[in-house]
Chains A and B, each alone.
Chain A
Amino acid sequence: MMREALGVVELLVFPGFLFLSWLALYFEWVDRKFYAKLQYRYGPLYTGPKGFLQPFADFVKLLAKEDIVPAAVDRFLFTLTPILMLALAFYALFYVPIVPMVRNVAFGAFEGDLILVIFVLTMVGFLKFLAGWGSTNRFSAVGAVRTAFQLLGYEIPLAVVLLTAGMGAGTLNISLIAQKVASNGILASALLPALAISIVCFQAELERIPFDIPEAEQEIVAGWLTEFSGRRLALFRFATDLELTLAAALTAALFLGGPYGPAIPLIPVQVSYFLWFMFKTTVIVMVLANIRALFARLRIDQMVHFSWRHLLIAAVAEAIFIQVLLAAGVIA
């Protein structure tokens, strides 16, 4: 009975919905604050210590704004897409090890959950297309088509590098991959190119500079998001924060060992999981923010060509490299 009670707590509170929500808002704060520092700005400042509560305040403010549904939109898609996108972003995070509690793996972990998470990532991209398509607005239409092209560009390299980590570890269970990577230095260093590729792909998945082509605000207002306002926009924003969390947590788990790492003396194992997880993911979010500050926006054809001609070839080459190492018996 104790285990069941702990399971419910793990699902709803820690590291379930409540903690994931906090984590998403925390990563948005890290992203904004670090991005601002790189541009010699202050970033969020007034709400809470160093503006820590600003993302939460923004979320509640947006939730409380008037929700306008334009007369011509597809009402079904207009309501379905924000809810489903938030649900999928929450859902995928239950398969990524954050702070393993009851079963010492991620809450929903099973053999093959990596493929499920890749599927969810594709579904999120497809929902963005549907949201723009259901808006019946020119700006949304252009944004939605760009989202679809971008999805075709980054999806395959991303899937290949994520699966490469699975190949190297000999399993498709994200938690077991993380354990294997954390305990095998050769595998972890052989996966470093895959880490770089996956960070670039996630930057495109999250539609951040230089891949913010689908919502390029100087050209097409807000792209596929143009018609959304009030609580629907708040849900999309929150889902994007959760996606950022998913990107950081998944990258950390597959290529850096996630919450698993050398035990820190004198503290319980769960606390060391928490500290390792926060350290690794915060560094990844900072790298993502750094890329955002360094580059200017690409054109959509440049983005698609870049990902098919360079990113995909690099991803397949990395996969071959890992297979050669496996065949040669270097990775035990």
Chain B
Amino acid sequence: MVLELLTSPPVIFFIAVIVSILIFLWGGMIAAKGEKTSGKLAPYACGEDFPPERFRVDVRRLFIYGLYFLIFDAFALIFALSFAKPGVFPIIFAVLALIAVIVMLPVKWYE
């Protein structure tokens, strides 16, 4: 009973987080305490004057790749769930996915 509890995924994850936090806190205990100056707290920029900024992701490009990612994630999932019945259907499905990537990749979507 205790062993089942110990080997269940949430318990292992919880203990892993605890161990990581302990290492983090240990680092805080032994770390050197320096003086906080404004230069030290500025973003790293090799001596140039870069203000801190949040960037914007190029959505169009990411969207195209995100679409491919979605198609193949669905492929991988269905593929993963087909293992009880190997043979014709997983092969047809994989060939369709392969044709999709061969046909779709050369298309310039956003230029």
Contacts and interface: CB of A to CB of B under 8 A. Distances in A.
Interface in B58-74: 58, 62, 65-66, 68-69, 72-73
Interface string B74-111: 01100110111011101100110110011001000000
A294 B79 CA distance: 34
Contact of B44 (A63, A109, A139, A167): A139
B91 A82 contact: no
Interface string B6-45: 1111001101110111011011101111101010111111
30 contacts: A3-B3, A60-B30, A63-B31, A64-B32, A67-B27, A83-B21, A87-B13, A88-B16, A108-B7, A109-B7, A136-B53, A145-B57, A145-B58, A156-B72, A163-B79, A167-B83, A170-B83, A231-B28, A231-B31, A304-B65, A308-B68, A309-B105, A316-B94, A316-B101, A319-B94, A320-B91, A320-B98, A323-B90, A326-B87, A327-B86
B31 A108 contact: no
Nearest to B46: A221
Nearest to A158: B76
Contacts of A60: 30
B86 A230 contact: no
Contacts of A163: 76, 79-80
Contact of A90 (B20, B31, B95): B20
The interface size bin for chain A is: 35 or more
Nearest to B91: A323
B19 A87 contact: yes
A35 interface: no
Contact of B31 (A91, A138, A230): A230
Q: Interface range on chain B: under 10, 10 to 19, 20 to 34, or 35 or more?
A: 35 or more
A320 B3 CA distance: 39
Nearest to A169: B83
Contacts of A136: 43, 52-54
Instruction: Report which residue of B31, B38, B53 has the largest number of chain A beta carbons within 10 angstroms of its beta carbon.
Output: B31
Interface in A153-211: 155-156, 159-160, 163, 166-167, 170-172
Contact of B27 (A64, A320, A327): A64
A224 B72 CA distance: 27
Contact of B83 (A86, A87, A171, A235): A171
A94 interface: yes
A103 B7 CA distance: 10
A47 to B, nearest CB: 18
B13 A91 contact: yes
A7 B52 CA distance: 49
A230 to B, nearest CB: 6
Contact of A70 (B6, B24, B42): B42
Contact of A145 (B7, B41, B55, B76): B55
Contacts of B95: 320
A327 B87 CA distance: 5
A63 B34 CA distance: 14
